[in-house]
Amino acid sequence: MVEEVIFAGFGGQGVLSMGQVLAYSGMIENREVCWMPSYGPEMRGGTANCIVTVSSDEISSPIISRFDTVVALNQPSLDKFESAVKPGGTLIYDSTNIIDPPKRSDIDIVPIPASEEAVKLKNTKIMNMIVLGAFLAKRNTVSIETVLDALKKVLPERHHHLIPLNEQALHRGKELAGEAVPVP
């Protein structure tokens, strides 16, 4: 198997770390993994994205131009990467933040009101985990259990109390993915 995905949004939305969690989870599941970031010169507020490859075979190019999945957390990212989804691939986006929805009809489009849901969960920083839950539901790259395992390993001890919240977010994302209705 191979999953080539890009997570894109503003710096500060957690796009880089959601990619890292996915890569780490892939490693736990004995896959080859590669996480490739790209960001602007600003410390904050710039755009950021990372490409994650999870594969059962050795990974050649870490740079991908066409993706199995695009995860877009803001309008510029959606506009930039919509066309990069492979035909039949998946496009997941934060429908709270994105006003102009994607237009392609040859891909699976999954709007997730992630920011809104994060507010409901009383922690806006958890938005990325909701989206990751949706991604896992759609793509099955790794299991949610592995992701929780991974979080335990990457989060410092002092943040472990947040793991239940993360779990809640992942599951909420999964549910939302099931409910998601593409904009016509």
Partner 1 sequence: MQEIEHHYDDLSVIYERPATLLDTRMHYCPGCGHGVAHRIVMEAVEELGIQETTVGVAPVGCSVFAYHYMNVDMQEAAHGRATAVATGIKRCRPDKYVFTYQGDGDLAAIGTGETIHTVNRGENILIVFINNAIYGMTGGQMAPTTLITQKTSTTPYGREASFMGNPLKITDLLAMLPGAFYVTRQAVNTPAHVRKAKKAILNGFQWQKLNKGTCFVEIVSNCPTNWGMKPVESNKWLEEYMLPFYPLGDMKVPSKEELENG
Partner 2 sequence: MGELRLMKGNEALAEAAIRAGMDAYFGYPITPQSEVLEYLTREAYNRTQCTILQAESEIASINMIYGASGAGARVMTSSSSPGISLMQEGISYIAGAELPCLLVNINRGGPGLGTIQPSQGDYFQATKGGGHGDYHLIVLAPATVQEMADFVLDGWQLAEKYRNPVMILSDGALGQMMEKVELREQVDRATNVIPEWATIGKSKDRERNIITSLFIQPEEMERVNLRLQEKYKVIMDNEIRVQEQNTEDADFVIVAYGLSARIGRKVMEILRAEGMKIGLIRPITLWPYPYETIGKVAGRVKGFLSLEMNAGQMVEDVRLAVNGQCPVGHYGRMGGIIPGPDEVADVIKTMYAKIQ
Task: List residues near partner 2 by CB under 8 A.
Answer: 20, 23-24, 27, 32-37, 40-41, 59-63, 65-66
Which one among 41, 87, 88, 156 touches partner 1, defined by CB under 8 A?
41
Enter the DSSP assignment of 121.
T
Q: Are 12 and 122 in contact (CB under 8 A)?
A: no
Say how many residues make up the chain: 184
144 binds, among partner 1, partner 2, none (CB under 5 to 8 A by kind): none
Decide if residue 1 touches partner 1 (CB under 8 A). Answer: no
* Orientation of helix 163-179 relative to helix 127-139, angle to 10°: 50
Q: Are 123 and 165 in contact (CB under 8 A)?
A: yes
Which one among 1, 30, 43, 181 touches partner 1, defined by CB under 8 A?
43
Q: Are 99 and 116 in contact (CB under 8 A)?
A: no
Choices 39-47, 110-118, 150-158, 165-173 (CB under 8 A): range interacting with partner 1: 39-47
Instruction: Write the DSSP assignment of 40-89 as a string of letters.
Output: -SSSSSSEEEEEEEEESS----S--SSEEEEEE-SHHHHHHHGGGEEEEE
152 binds, among partner 2, partner 1, none (CB under 5 to 8 A by kind): none
Closer residue to partner 2, CB minimum distance, 20 or 69:
20
Task: Give the start-end residues of each E strand in the chain.
Answer: 2-10, 32-39, 47-55, 67-72, 85-94, 108-112
43 binds, among partner 1, partner 2, none (CB under 5 to 8 A by kind): partner 1
Compute the least distance from the CB of residue 169 to partner 1, in Å: 25
Choices 2-10, 18-26, 42-50, 175-183 (CB under 8 A): range interacting with partner 1: 42-50
Q: Which residue has the tokens 């490859």?
A: 53
Closer residue to partner 2, CB minimum distance, 40 or 45:
40
45 binds, among partner 2, partner 1, none (CB under 5 to 8 A by kind): partner 1
Which one among 2, 45, 61, 63 touches partner 1, defined by CB under 8 A?
45
